[in-house]
Amino acid sequence: MRILVCGGAGYIGSHACVVLAGLGHRVVVVDNFVNSSPRTLPCLQRIIGAPVEAHRLDLRDRDGLRALLAGSRFDAVMHFAALKAVGESCAQPLDYFDNNIGGTIALLQAMQDTGVRRLVFSSSATVYGEPEQVPVREDAPLSATNPYGRTKLVMEQMIGDLCRADPAFRAASLRYFNPVGAHPSGLIGEDPCGVPNNLMPYLCQVAAGRRERLRVFGGDYPTADGTGVRDYLHVMDLARAHADALDYLVRRERNLVVNLGTGRGTSVLELVRAFERVSGRRIPCEIVARRPGDVATLYADPARARRLLGWRARLGVPRMCRDAWHWQSLHPRGYADADVDAPAFV
Ligand code: NAD
Ligand code: WQD
């Protein structure tokens, strides 16, 4: 199939491109590089072993997007393109509504206008807000605790409304838990701009000597060791689920909302210890106050993904840490250390 990958230069989108290309699909990347480097593309090409068509485009550029979709026949769209920093979304909510919701409206309209009717959408466990119980099932109550989460909730709802209005439109909303790790080659990985907000990239930067110590947000949660528990999943497992979801849309011709997680919780300190074991580096830690908005424990019930997609996470925490560290140790400054030239765009 020919697949348009919006946000394909980003962390998860780039790993999805590798999986899709490996299955024989033709991927076309669209990205405005607001949170990624064009150098991702030559790195991707090295893994795939073939050129990757890419366009520098903002999804809100309606004319540009429509021209791209009208110019060649796409069988499906994968939509990773969004801003995702929770704290930033609280400081600049309108930017998040404009980029995430505005970009998605423009994309859905361009798809409708050009007859592209299959969508795989990056949703998030953030749509569960502060869940009443864990593991979280897809039928748990939904809510938003910050503007980023609100954009994911609204985008899921918009996509649901479109599916009801157009019975030929097929969509999969994939609710990711905590994606971490990197492609085993170490050629692509997570490269956050500025100070990382998320635990694994922060850990990696401490191990690489870029940051002095990890601040552990809260040591007094009602968990086994007092630190927050999350459902970390390997980005390659997550990437594979996108191919499975597309397959589901094509074969079953039904819409889909699924959790993607391992179903297992890991505490901050457990992740730190696992990382230390595989990297051989010591991670200095300091327990500080809780981060506002964090919950104690969050992990998925992944049974629906297993039942409908036949998908389950295969790679465990040690492998997640090993692959994250492999990427980071080869690229201490992220893509700035990649031995490639940035591609020229027209
Ligand atoms: P990322 O920032 O690495 O990738 C997103 C990509 O989209 C970037 O390359 C960015 O430049 C691009 N982009 C953003 N707005 C755009 C626009 N208007 N037009 C064109 N390109 C645009 O983030 P990621 O971690 O790869 O996340 C991918 C998706 O998964 C996002 O939608 C995110 O909300 C969702 N998600 C991520 C996580 C996580 O922990 N990483 C968890 C749950 C859900
Ligand atoms: C994990 C644990 C922190 C950093 C976020 C978004 C969510 C989703 C995934 C997109 C928590 C602790 C973290 C640090 C720490 N993204 N921590 N020190 O908060 O589960 O989820 O990313 O949809 O919407 O909210 O992930 O990696 O930030 O935190 O102690 O420097 O690590 O308190 O317990 P989170 P995270």
The 10s digit of each residue's pLDDT in 116-128 is 999 999 999 999 9
Task: Identify whether 49 is part of a domain.
Answer: yes
Task: Identify whether 77 is part of a domain.
Answer: yes
Residue whose pair of structure tokens reads 């990773």 in the numeric block: 80
Structural domains counted in the chain? 1
Indicate the length of the chain as a whole number.
346
Give whole-number Cα distances, 171 to 242, 247, 279, in Å: 12, 11, 40
- When the pLDDT of each residue in the chain is averaged and rounded to a whole number, the result is 97
What is the three-class DSSP state of 4? Answer: strand
β-partners of residue 31 are 56
Task: Identify whether 343 is part of a domain.
Answer: no
Task: Identify whether 138 is part of a domain.
Answer: yes
Task: Identify whether 225 is part of a domain.
Answer: yes
Q: How far is the CA of 293 from the centre of ligand 1 (A)?
A: 21
pLDDT tens-digit map of 185-244 = 999 999 999 999 999 999 999 999 999 999 999 999 999 999 999 999 999 999 999 999
Report which bound ligand comes closest to the CA of 149. Answer: 2
With cut-offs at 50, 70 and 90, classify the pLDDT of residue 64.
Answer: very high
Task: Identify whether 159 is part of a domain.
Answer: yes
Atom of ligand 2 nearest to the CA of 290: 33
Residue whose pair of structure tokens reads 């085993």 in the numeric block: 184
Q: How far is the CA of 168 from the centre of ligand 2 (A)?
A: 37
Give whole-number Cα distances, 69 to 4, 16, 55, 74, 298, in Å: 9, 20, 12, 7, 38
Atom of ligand 1 nearest to the CA of 79: 32
Domain span holding position 299: 2-337
Q: How far is the CA of 294 from the centre of ligand 2 (A)?
A: 8
Catalytic residues: 148
Task: Identify whether 346 is part of a domain.
Answer: no
Q: Which residue's CA is minimally distant from atom 30 of ligand 1? A: 122
Task: Identify whether 345 is part of a domain.
Answer: no
Residue whose pair of structure tokens reads 């990297």 in the numeric block: 279
Atom of ligand 2 nearest to the CA of 228: 34
pLDDT above 90 (res 14): yes
Task: Give the CATH number of the domain where residue 226 resides.
Answer: 3.40.50.720
pTM of structure: 0.98
Contact 2, 28 (CB under 8 A): yes
**Ligand 2 neighbourhood includes 124 CB (under 6 angstroms):** yes
pLDDT above 60 (res 346): no
